[in-house]
Amino acid sequence: MPHNIDILVVDDDPLLRLGIVSMLQDLGYRAMAAQDPMRALHMLHKDLAVDLLITDYSMPGMTGVDLAHRIAQQRPGLLVLIMTGHQQLEDDLDPDWRKLTKPFTEAELREEIESMTST
């Protein structure tokens, strides 16, 4: 079942990034990936259409929360899902952002996205 949602996945781990993009595509979403926050910012600077940012929290150079804050300044209303292996994040999340604890299943990812996009 196709979804009209463009998703950008940002994770510095190539296997995780590929796995998440594959799960999203299996679920019918349009997904693209960036290997680090700077690449994601470059892609978005070129007016890449993105409805949802799924980003790892812990990455070299910039946290996923910092990345989301930078992107949200330019794209208000962007949906954000922060992935983390930690129960608690050091940074405060925007109240509209969600957190998904790793590891997660395809079903958990689908449920989180559906709950974010159904409002």
In this structure, what CATH number is given to the domain that contains residue 34?
3.40.50.2300
Reported as half-sphere exposure (CB side, CA atoms, 13 A), residue 86 has a value of: 9
Structure token digits, residue 5: 């949602």
Task: Name residues whose C-beta falls within 8 Å of residue 56's C-beta, 6 or more positions apart in sequence.
Answer: 10, 11, 12, 13, 16, 64, 82, 83, 84
Q: Max CA-CA distance within the chain? A: 37
Q: How confident is the model at residue 119 (pLDDT cuts 50, 70, 90)?
A: low
Residue 89's pLDDT is 61
Establish if 1 belongs to a structural domain. Answer: no
What average pLDDT does this structure show over 101-109? 94
Count up the domains in the chain and report the number. Answer: 1
Residue 46: closest CA among 63, 32, 64, 61? 32
Q: Kindly report the pTM of this predicted structure.
A: 0.93
Establish if 24 belongs to a structural domain. Answer: yes
Establish if 51 belongs to a structural domain. Answer: yes
Domain that holds residue 71: 6-117
What average pLDDT does this structure show over 86-107? 81
